[in-house]
Structure 1
Amino acid sequence: MSEQVLNRNGNVMSRSRTRTLSQIAMLGALAGVLMNFEFPLPFLAPAFYQLDFSEIPVLVGTFAMGPVSGALIELVKILVHLVTKGTMTAGVGDVANFLFGCAYVIPAGLIYRYHHVKSRRHAVVGMIAGTVLTTILACVIN
């Protein structure tokens, strides 16, 4: 059973919900910081394509807490990035990053979460499905 705590409005909230919210915040902040470390892809793509490792904490959180938490971690990541680094695309790049990130982690989380046996195989299948959906979405949006 979870312990009851009061939030700032005086409403009762369970300790497990507080723990989940703090995990979402910490993983989102970590992903937002990792998003600031971008590496260009020389000779492979246009100059504005860059590689960052910010999806790793999002995937870890998605596999641990579910696809809804993964989408919330993705949102926190984008907000942290906007606050710390700002935007040069009037927010269009950040909205696209959020959409593509959600298109990647939500299918991965759904496939992993709704299998009775949690295994590395199901995680890989989920990430492959997320990659396919992200590719389709990128073709449609771009």
Structure 2
Amino acid sequence: MERVENAARSRTQSKTHRITVTAMLSAVSAVLMFVDFSVPFMPAFIKMDVSELPALLASFSLGPVYGVAVCFIKNLINCLRTSTGCVGELCNFLLGAIFVYAAGSVYLRFHNHKSRKGAIIGSVLGALAMALLSVPLNYYLTYPIYAKLMPIDVIVGMYQAIRPSANGLLDCLVTFNMPFTFLKGMIDVILCFLIYKPLSPLLHK
């Protein structure tokens, strides 16, 4: 009986820990989404941030579902200050969820045990999937809605101010947004590997 009670107590403590860490990482992620900045090789309305970093930490330490949860909560919080009718947040959530879920899933399943190699492969694959899917997601969802606020010709013109040979929205998304999204993901990956070990006791215990 005592063994059963101890096992139940351990499961409860583990669940409480996971919820607590998820809430903490979601709060940090929401703050990081506020701290964004423009980059010279992208139009001014596209910002760089590292708000997927806490979600990646959650995916590696708690599991991919928790990483997706951090992405969801972060964007839910940022919907309170959005100027895009939450369309930008929806796109950010979908791409971030693809990134961290792929990274965490590969990490858990790589040769049936967790390994640094599995984490690296999962992270790169996740960043690549996020970059590739950013093109259809932006082309068919995000930018058509943005076009109600700003004509597509004006949006394309902002890209052409950087690269005059840009030809149409799809070309802009492939040549600008896709590599930018991959770079953004890889910056999160590098930062994650730099801080994961020092934070590991807090994330796991």
| Inter-partner Cα distance in structure 1 for 2:43 and 2:32 | 22
- Counterparts of residues 19-98 of structure 1 (less than 5 Å): 19-42=17-40, 44-83=41-80, 86-98=81-93
Larger Rg: 2
1:15 CA drift (Å): 2.1
| Inter-partner Cα distance in structure 2 for 1:54 and 1:131 | 14
TM-score, structure 1 as length reference: 0.85
1:81 CA drift (Å): 2.1
The runs of 4+ residues in structure 1 deviating greater than 4 Å are none
1:2 CA drift (Å): 4.2
Unaligned 5+ segments in structure 1 are 5-12
- Contact 1:33–1:80, Cα closer than 8 Å, also in 2: no
Q: Which amino acid aligns with 2:87?
A: V
1:30 CA drift (Å): 0.6
Unaligned 5+ segments in structure 2 are 1-6, 140-205
What is the aligned-residue identity percentage? 34
Superposed CA deviations along residues 101-125 of structure 1, whole A, max 9, x for unmatched, are 0111111010001123422221111
Superposed CA deviations along residues 65-115 of structure 1, whole A, max 9, x for unmatched, are 1111111111111122223xx101011000000001011111101000112
* 2:119 aligned with 1:123: yes
- Quote the RMSD (CA, aligned, Å): 1.6
| Inter-partner Cα distance in structure 2 for 1:101 and 1:78 | 10
